[in-house]
């Protein structure tokens, strides 16, 4: 039924134990696994399956029966579908598994065999398959265990898709003899209920989820005293809202910074670093590099920049990917001179903390000056009336790109565009001050909860080509 060592399988599932067990199966058998994001489109799923060469797809029949049949019909290379339970598209994998007698495990994979292809978000084109070996994933788990602020007793709640960051934490939880609780999708009331029911001590949330919790009317009566660690990441968190979160949840926040190419662990901003009284500036930092890897900031010529200057984050060490699947040119571009170039721009302070100013592709060049949206967003969200902000460059005949802010107000709050523009001008100067402010109900986010700058920019750049910096 299953393939030989080195062949490709995939999973299309919501958060459920069988999906994690399928990953364990792949690791032991030496198969190459690809996890489908549960919120992606049919076209995206089809592209990932075809690009990765998946022959066998494991499917959650409760959520994806219709999608599975459509994918089978359009992909000749997809040879078999196995369902986590009774289904109308293929074999019932759980029923078949009942027919086998337990036997001693005999792992077939070696440390340098490929264990997984993790696909990037595709915000600047087609998603790329990031190639990771077992050696990289062992290094990731060891880093999570050594570098993170785990509570003494780990009872972990995953409400983000286990196809991404939360799923990469399960082995560390298990090695701490912990409990891993999953839920299919995020809901504030469900989060409150699960934390209270299971006395959850740790969780991973993206900032937009934390904002939803803080704004929910039930937050005051929720039983959350068991929480000792809230790991956040995947997108920057507004400092004002982080301080608000610390007032509500206590000193439980720890930030991770990583990317698909360096999973979960480039830098960490630990709980002790969240100190608004003595070190308020660090609330906008992504932390300091973990042990076991090297990090430097370089200019366009690959020269390391002085402390305080903006440079691209480059990484090397045991956590870095092998390359991109079947994309030698993209691999060569990303991995130059023995370093992985992350595409993230940052400054470093004298204590070694990094401050990401933006993705290089999101940087705005206005009138010949570099403008970093993240810095402007941090200023805007300090205003009491602002719940969230997204800053982009829009076409402008005079400036090339003009700075534009899209602002979501807190419920019942009011503020003028002029006041927000003046706030940024005072904090950052005239070049960074938005030329316009648009008030919106919400900002689009990706399936991972990250602000989707590509979607935000789309309507302003219709018919025009924006240069990627």
* pLDDT tens, residue by residue, 381-440: 989 999 999 999 998 877 778 999 999 999 899 999 999 999 999 988 888 899 999 999
Give the chain's domain count.
Answer: 3
Indicate whether 173 and 320 sit together in one domain.
yes
Q: What angle do CA 94, 96, 97 make, to 5 degrees?
A: 65
pLDDT digits (tens, 9 = 90+) for 129-183: 999 999 999 999 999 999 999 999 999 999 988 988 899 999 999 999 999 999 9
Span of 25-39, 234-248, 295-309, 448-462 with lowest mean pLDDT: 448-462
Q: What DSSP letter does each residue of 104-147 carry, written as one string?
A: -------TTSEEEEEEP--TTSS--EEEEEHHHHHHHHHHHHHH
Residue 127 lies in a domain: no
pLDDT digits (tens, 9 = 90+) for 312-338: 999 999 999 999 999 999 999 999 989
Residue 303 has a pLDDT of 93
How many Å apart are CA 232 and CA 454, to the nearest integer?
Answer: 22
How many Å apart are CA 140 and CA 335, to the nearest integer?
Answer: 19
Higher pLDDT, 209 or 58: 58
How many Å apart are CA 112 and CA 321, to the nearest integer?
Answer: 11
Residue 120 lies in a domain: no
* Structure confidence at residue 126 as a pLDDT band (50, 70, 90): confident
* Structure confidence at residue 125 as a pLDDT band (50, 70, 90): low
Residue 463 has a pLDDT of 64
How many Å apart are CA 395 and CA 358, to the nearest integer?
Answer: 19
Q: What is the pTM of this model?
A: 0.83
pLDDT at 2 over 80: no
pLDDT at 469 over 60: no
Indicate whether 59 and 74 sit together in one domain.
yes
What mean pLDDT comes out for the span 110-129? 83
- The alpha helices in 277-338, defined as continuous H runs, are 328-334
Residue 1 lies in a domain: no
Residue 39 has a pLDDT of 82
Domain range for residue 317? Answer: 135-359
CATH number for the domain spanning 394: value is 3.30.300.30
Indicate whether 312 and 201 sit together in one domain.
yes
Q: Which residue has the tokens 């930092």?
A: 285
Indicate whether 243 and 345 sit together in one domain.
yes
Cα–Cα separations (whole angstroms), residue 207 to 238, 267, 288, 458: 8, 17, 20, 23
pLDDT at 25 over 70: yes
pLDDT at 123 over 50: no
Q: Which residue has the tokens 């005072």?
A: 426
* Structure confidence at residue 240 as a pLDDT band (50, 70, 90): confident
Q: What angle do CA 23, 28, 30 make, to 5 degrees?
A: 90
Indicate whether 301 and 163 sit together in one domain.
yes
Indicate whether 367 and 332 sit together in one domain.
no
* E runs forming strands in 5-113: 8-12, 32-36, 56-59, 80-83, 91-92
Residue 317 pairs in a beta bridge with 293
Mean pLDDT taken over the chain: 91
Percent of the residues in the chain that have a pLDDT greater than 70, as a whole number: 96
């Amino acid at each position: 039924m299953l393939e030989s060592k080195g062949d490709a399988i995939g999973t299309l599932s919501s958060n459920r134990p069988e999906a994690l067990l399928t990953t364990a199966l792949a690791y032991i058998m030496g198969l190459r696994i690809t996890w489908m994001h549960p919120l992606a489109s049919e076209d995206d799923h089809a592209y990932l399956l075809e690009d990765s060469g998946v022959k066998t797809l494991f499917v959650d029949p409760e959520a994806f029966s219709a999608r599975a049949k459509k994918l089978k019909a359009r992909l000749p290379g997809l040879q078999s579908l196995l369902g986590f339970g009774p289904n109308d598209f293929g074999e019932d994998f759980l029923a078949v598994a009942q027919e086998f007698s337990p036997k001693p495990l005999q792992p077939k994979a070696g440390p340098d065999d490929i264990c997984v292809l993790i696909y990037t978000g595709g915000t600047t084109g087609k998603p790329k398959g990031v190639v990771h070996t077992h050696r990289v994933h062992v290094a990731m788990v060891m880093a999570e265990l050594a570098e993170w602020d785990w509570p003494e007793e780990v009872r972990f709640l995953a409400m983000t898709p286990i196809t991404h960051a939360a799923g990469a934490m399960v082995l560390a939880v298990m090695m701490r003899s912990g409990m891993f609780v999953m839920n299919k999708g995020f809901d504030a009331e469900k989060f409150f209920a699960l934390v209270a029911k299971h006395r959850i001590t740790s969780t991973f949330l993206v900032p937009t989820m934390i904002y939803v919790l803080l704004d929910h009317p039930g937050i005051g009566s929720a039983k959350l005293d068991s929480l000792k660690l809230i790991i956040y990441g995947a997108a920057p968190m507004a400092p004002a809202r982080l301080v608000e979160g610390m007032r509500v949840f206590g000193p439980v926040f720890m930030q991770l910074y990583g990317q698909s190419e360096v999973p979960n662990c480039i830098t960490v901003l630990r709980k002790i670093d969240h100190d608004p009284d003595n070190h308020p500036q660090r609330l906008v930092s992504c932390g300091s590099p973990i042990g076991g890897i090297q990090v430097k900031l370089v200019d366009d010529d690959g020269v390391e920049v002085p402390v305080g200057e903006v440079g691209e984050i480059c990484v090397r060490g045991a956590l870095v990917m092998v390359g991109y699947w079947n994309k030698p040119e993209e691999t060569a571009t990303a991995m130059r001179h023995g370093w992985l170039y992350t595409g993230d721009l940052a400054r470093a302070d004298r204590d070694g903390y990094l401050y990401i100013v933006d993705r290089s592709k999101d940087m705005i060049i206005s009138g010949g000056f570099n403008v970093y949206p993240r810095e402007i967003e941090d200023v805007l969200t300090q205003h009491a009336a602002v719940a969230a902000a997204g800053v982009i460059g829009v076409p402008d005949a005079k400036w090339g790109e003009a700075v534009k802010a899209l602002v979501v107000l807190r419920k019942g709050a009011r503020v003028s565009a002029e006041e927000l523009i003046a706030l940024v001008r005072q904090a950052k100067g005239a070049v960074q001050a938005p030329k316009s402010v648009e008030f919106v109900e919400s900002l689009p986010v990706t399936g991972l909860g990250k602000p989707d700058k590509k979607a935000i920019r789309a309507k302003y750049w219709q018919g025009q080509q924006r240069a990627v910096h």
